[in-house]
């Protein structure tokens, strides 16, 4: 399997740290923002504290024995940063990195060229007054010291670049870096158009993002008495909690920071809705959506239903027909399809004695 852009940047970071000893030689305290484990970093694990808002990568950090904190505080000799590719989010991360440094400390950033590495290298150069850079494997690793040359006025602008804010016609809380952060996603909007208003009982929203589907279900479906929203991005969880909290509904709501591909509580839900992701970074990965479908089938009650929206080209129908007794394509338009699947085949997901099935 080819390495992802993120993997290449992480490998390049480890190579640079191993070959440029001046970066780490005086580092007694290290902060790693948007951290990922790597065997090339293992020597520094005892000195390292990590922050990772994306649940699957946070789980990898925990499995590697790294110390994780929701928000890192204090002063550090070295800050490592693996930004994502959204501009405002990255500028905010760069400002946060400099804020965590002791005077004379080093901020070291690793990015794939396709993620805007050269642009952000120039941004750091403009604010720090100098830097060093290594280019390898279509990636750039650049580092700069916190000195008296640091332009505090520019950092002040960057700090607020990715703050939580009212967006999408001033109706929803959102922030740069989240999926479809400044507009309602077309697929989610299409799904809402076709969701029946008589949905009832216990409902789950898998991959809830900043909470649009959950908000609409609470607003339109008065017979829903419980709604659980699951989302892997902690920043999106924060926004979703505000957005569902703004709906006057009788339903009890919970927003979970959770990796849906790891499964959800079995046989709990009457209805599951989902607009599942199908990318890991820039790389398309339809298996993510397939894992969402499997989680939904496991999480539904015996006569529960899954409502799913997906891009037309994604090959979900075969798995749906294997995992459910009933699969119906509700519509196919605007490059999307809305699918409804009912009566999950729980014998595929639970270890039980095999028996001959009939149609339900």
User: At 24, which CATH number?
Assistant: 3.40.50.150
Given this model, what pLDDT does residue 3 score? 61
pLDDT at 285 over 80: no
Same domain for 242 and 258, yes or no, is yes
- Per-residue pLDDT, 168: 85
Q: Work out the average pLDDT over 68-85.
A: 96
| DSSP bridge partners of 132 | 143
Q: Considering its fold, how many domains does the chain have in total? A: 2
What mean pLDDT is predicted for residues 312-339? 95
Quote the distance between the C-alpha of residue 309 and its chain's center: 18
Two structure tokens written together for 229: 């929203």
Spell out a b/e string for 278-290, using b for 16 or more CB atoms within 10 Å of the CB, else e: beebeeeebebbb
Give the CA-trace dihedral at 123, 126, 127, 128, to 10 degrees. Answer: 110
Domain shared by 141 and 13, yes or no: yes
Q: What is the pTM of this model?
A: 0.92
Domain assignment present for residue 355? The answer is no
Where among 97, 124, 159 does a domain terminate? 159
pLDDT at 356: 38
Tokens of 349: 């997901």
Please tell me the least confidently modeled range out of 198-202, 240-244, 312-316.
Answer: 312-316
| Per-residue pLDDT, 349 | 66
Which residues have CB under 8 Å from 237's CB, separation 6+?
231, 255, 256, 257
Please check whether residue 240 is in contact with residue 254, taking contact to mean a CB–CB distance below 8 angstroms: no
Kindly report the average pLDDT of the chain as a whole number: 93
> Same domain, yes or no, for 178 and 241?
yes
Question: Confidence class of residue 350 from pLDDT cuts 50, 70 and 90?
Answer: low
Same domain, 189 and 298: yes
Look up residue 74 and give its two tokens. 């204090």
3-state helix, strand, coil split of the chain in percent (to 5) is 35, 30, 35
Are residues 26 and 88 located together in one domain of the fold?
A: yes
Q: Which residue range is the domain that position 212 belongs to?
A: 165-348
């Amino acid at each position: 399997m080819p390495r992802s852009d993120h993997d290449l940047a992480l490998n390049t970071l480890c190579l640079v740290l191993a070959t440029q000893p001046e970066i780490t030689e005086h580092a007694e305290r290290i902060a790693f923002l948007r951290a990922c484990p790597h065997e090339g970093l293992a020597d520094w694990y005892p000195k390292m504290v990590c922050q990772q808002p994306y649940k699957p990568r946070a789980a990898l950090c925990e499995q590697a024995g790294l110390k994780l904190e929701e928000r890192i505080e204090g002063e550090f000799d070295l800050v490592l940063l693996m930004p994502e590719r959204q501009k405002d989010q990255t500028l905010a991360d760069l400002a946060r990195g400099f804020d965590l440094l002791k005077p004379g400390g080093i901020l070291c950033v690793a990015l794939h060229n396709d993620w805007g590495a050269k642009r952000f290298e120039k941004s750091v150069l403009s604010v720090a007054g100098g830097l060093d850079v290594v280019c390898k494997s279509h990636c750039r690793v650049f580092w700069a010291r916190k000195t008296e040359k640091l332009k505090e006025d520019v950092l002040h602008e960057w700090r607020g670049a990715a703050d939580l804010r009212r967006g999408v016609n001033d109706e929803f809380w959102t922030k740069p870096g989240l999926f479809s952060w400044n507009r309602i996603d077309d697929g989610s909007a299409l799904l809402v158009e076709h969701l029946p208003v008589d949905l009832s009982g216990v409902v789950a929203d898998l991959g809830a993002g900043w909470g649009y589907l959950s908000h609409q279900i609470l607003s339109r479906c008065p017979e829903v008495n419980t709604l659980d929203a699951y989302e892997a991005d902690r920043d999106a969880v924060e926004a979703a909690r505000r957005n569902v909290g703004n709906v006057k509904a009788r339903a009890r709501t919970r927003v979970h920071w959770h990796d849906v591909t790891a499964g959800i509580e079995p046989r709990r839900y009457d209805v599951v809705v989902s607009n599942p992701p199908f990318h890991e970074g820039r790389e398309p990965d339809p298996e993510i959506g397939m894992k969402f479908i499997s989680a939904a089938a496991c999480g539904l009650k015996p006569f529960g239903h899954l409502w799913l929206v997906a891009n037309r080209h994604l090959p979900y129908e075969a798995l749906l027909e294997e995992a459910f007794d009933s699969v119906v394509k509700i519509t196919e338009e605007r490059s999307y399809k809305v699918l409804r699947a009912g009566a999950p085949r729980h014998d595929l997901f639970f270890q039980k004695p095999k028996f001959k099935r009939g149609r339900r």
